[in-house]
Amino acid sequence: MNKFSTVLVAIDFSDSSDNAFQMALSLAKTFSAQLLVLHVINEPVDLRGFYVPHISFARLEEEIEEGAQKMMESFCRTHIVDFEDFQELIVAGLPYEEIIAQAAEKSADLIVLGTHGRSGLDHVLFGSTAEKVVRKSTVPVLTVRLEE
């Protein structure tokens, strides 16, 4: 049987990713794997430096990063007990691209995602992060559905 040494779980602080996180933590414990907890700050590429003067935009970015860092720390403090081999990761960009890139960079053996995100919507028109990761990742992906 393949052994999972590094499990990457992508969280957007939604109930769905909370649920996926529980599964990822349980797998990491079972396989004594390292758990990478990744959050991607969805970068507003089109707005960068265009509508907002550069200085205030830079400050806004800093505040967003600080806020995300605090949320991540609080998430890990409240969700992880009896487990120490985890790493918090915060990056900015397109969520599906960064999830795939971070999994490759950190040599993850498995990516764990929720089927829904913060909007809770089925992404009929645009496709979801989960769908894109499943389609494009070369690393195995486990999606976890939250029962209503």
Which residues would be at the binding site for ligand AMP (CB under 6 A)? 10-12, 14, 16-17, 20, 38-40, 42, 95, 113-114, 116-117, 128-130
Q: Least distance in Å: CB of 90 to ligand AMP? A: 9
Residue whose CB is less far from ligand AMP, 1 or 36? 36
Residue whose CB is less far from ligand AMP, 55 or 122? 122
Q: Least distance in Å: CB of 146 to ligand AMP? A: 8
CA distances from 66 to 41, 82, 115, 138 (A): 11, 27, 27, 32
Q: Is 107 left (phi over 0), alpha (psi -120 to 50) or beta?
A: left
CB 141 within 8 A of CB 111: yes
Residue nearest ligand AMP, CB atom distance: 117
Say how far apart CA 55 and CA 60 lie, in whole Å: 9
Residue whose CB is less far from ligand AMP, 25 or 38? 38
Largest interatomic CA distance in the chain: 55
Q: Least distance in Å: CB of 61 to ligand AMP? A: 15
Residue whose CB is less far from ligand AMP, 55 or 127? 127
Best CA proximity match to 28, nearest among 13, 2, 6, 1:
6
30: tokens are: 């079972």
Q: Least distance in Å: CB of 14 to ligand AMP? A: 6
